[in-house]
């Protein structure tokens, strides 16, 4: 089993956060594939995947460039290794056991009702402090958040990394599309205690591309979906 890490980033001159991330992922060890100035996150991930011609048992980490991973290399290998178990799809730090008709995985009402899973530490742009966002105990989930995803090459071939025709926007809802496709194909997605600190609140609701792709997703898939 080989491990690859794909990071889409805007600039070859990496900022300190991304440099630290590359160093951590290299220590796993994994081969880090930096995809700079891609036309879409779908094409960036697919180009990187195709470049290495992986074996089915190889594992890919696909993550944002503005995160810190606060686990040891041994812990990271242990948690992402679950993705190679028979019948498993994606693993990640946060997701939901119930994707509602609005297709918003972190929706507050379902969060209060105990449907969400995992945790992430978030940081506002101008704040020095990280704040824990605890969604719920680790568990099997329908979909996962895309700030950190891991899956075997076999799963990625099964799901397909190319942008589906029903999504017009190049950057948004890739995580829901990938992980829901895994769920639809009968694979098991799970949250794992990967300790992620995200240098962003990750708030996308006001962005046109996110809403356009969300509405396209709703029209294309049968919701709600629940574990």
pLDDT tens per residue across span 25-39: 999 999 999 999 888
- For residues 48, 208, 129, 36, the Cα torsion angle rounded to the nearest 10 degrees is 20
Max Cα-Cα span within the chain: 44
CATH number of the CATH domain containing 169: 3.90.550.10
CB-CB contact of 141 with 178 (8 Å)? no
pTM above 0.75, yes or no: yes
CB-CB contact of 96 with 105 (8 Å)? yes
For residue 171, name the pLDDT band (cuts at 50, 70, 90): confident
> Is the pLDDT confidence value at 169 over 90?
no
Backbone angles phi and psi of 126, in degrees to 5 = -100, 15
pLDDT tens per residue across span 41-55: 999 999 999 999 999
Q: How far apart are CA 113 and CA 109, in angstroms?
A: 6
Question: Alpha helices, DSSP H only, in the chain?
Answer: 16-26, 41-52, 73-80, 108-112, 153-159, 174-184, 208-220
The mean per-residue pLDDT over the stretch 182-207 comes to 85
Total domain count, the chain: 1
Among candidate residues 157, 85, 95, the one with its CA nearest the CA of residue 120: 95
| Residue 166 CB contacts under 8 Å (≥ 6 apart), including other chains | 216, 217, 219, 220
- Domain of 134, in residue numbers: 3-226
């Amino acid at each position: 089993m080989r491990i690859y890490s794909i990071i889409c980033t805007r600039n070859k001159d990496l900022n300190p956060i991304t440099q630290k991330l590359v160093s951590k992922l290299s220590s796993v060890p994994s081969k880090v594939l930096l995809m700079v100035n891609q036309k879409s996150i779908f094409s960036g991930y697919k180009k990187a995947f195709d470049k290495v011609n992986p074996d089915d048992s190889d594992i890919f980490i696909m993550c944002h460039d503005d995160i810190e991973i606060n686990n040891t290399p041994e812990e990271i290998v242990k948690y992402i290794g679950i993705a190679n178990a028979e019948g498993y799809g994606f693993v990640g730090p946060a997701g939901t056991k119930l994707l509602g008709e609005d297709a918003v995985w972190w929706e507050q009402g379902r969060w209060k009702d105990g449907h969400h899973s995992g945790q992430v530490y978030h940081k506002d742009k101008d704040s020095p402090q990280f704040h824990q966002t605890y969604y719920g105990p680790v568990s099997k989930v329908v979909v996962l958040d895309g700030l950190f995803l891991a899956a075997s090459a076999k799963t990625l071939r099964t799901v397909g990394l190319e942008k589906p025709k029903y999504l017009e926007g190049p950057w948004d809802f890739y995580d829901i599309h990938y992980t829901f496709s895994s769920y639809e194909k009968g694979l098991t997605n799970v949250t794992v205690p990967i300790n992620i600190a995200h240098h962003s609140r990750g708030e996308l609701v006001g962005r046109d591309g996110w809403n356009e792709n969300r509405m396209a997703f709703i029209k294309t898939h049968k919701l709600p979906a629940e574990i």
